[in-house]
Amino acid sequence: MSYSSELSRRLRKKPPTTAGCHIPEPQGPDFKVVVPPHPQKYPNHQGSKGSVFGGICNRTACDRLHAEFYNRGTYGYYCAEDAIGINRYSVKTPLCIEVDHDLTHEEMDAHYRRMMEDMR
Ligand SMILES: [Zn+2]
């Protein structure tokens, strides 16, 4: 038996690879998205990141949980540490506000309008 036919025989006997199987990238705990992300939400993360009250913080470099602050500028939820950090730059009209539930898009729009009014 030639080397090449021996090689092809071995390759045929190889177990099927996992190519084609979808392996989702790890995202930590997954949260059920109650309200789909607002069209204006930034950034547009995969999964539930920043889109669930009490879920994963919206800041790209942060994976803390308990995102219970809503950012009226990015339409995302943030952990307390980042919300306080962001608000340091927006003292007069805080960008991040503490909320207690998943906001509807109507509530998000209302928060945005109120913030714009406060800034005038
Ligand atoms: Zn954070």
Task: Flag whether 22 is in a domain.
Answer: no
Provide the 10 A C-beta neighbour count for residue 87: 17
48-64 in b/e form (b: 16+ CB < 10 A) is bbbbbbebbbbbeebee
Task: Flag whether 111 is in a domain.
Answer: yes
Task: Flag whether 14 is in a domain.
Answer: no
Task: Flag whether 104 is in a domain.
Answer: yes
pTM: 0.76
For residue 82, the enclosing domain spans 37-119
C-alpha of residue 55 to centroid of ligand 1, in Å:
10
Confirm if 65 and 56 have CB atoms less than 8 A apart. yes
C-alpha of residue 22 to centroid of ligand 1, in Å:
29
C-alpha of residue 65 to centroid of ligand 1, in Å:
8
Task: Flag whether 9 is in a domain.
Answer: no
Task: Flag whether 107 is in a domain.
Answer: yes
Asked if the model's pLDDT at residue 85 lies above 60, the reply is yes
Q: pLDDT of 34-47, one tens digit each?
A: 999 999 999 999 99
From CA 80, how far away is CA 82, in angstroms rounded?
Answer: 6
Residues around ion ligand 1, judged by CB within 5 A, are 57, 59, 62, 64, 79, 82
Specify the range with the lowest mean pLDDT, choosing from 6-10, 19-23, 96-100, 101-105.
19-23
Q: pLDDT of 45-84, one tens digit each?
A: 999 999 999 999 999 999 999 999 999 999 999 999 999 9
Question: Count of domains in the chain?
Answer: 1
Residue 113 C-beta-side C-alpha neighbours within 13 Å: 6
Task: Flag whether 17 is in a domain.
Answer: no
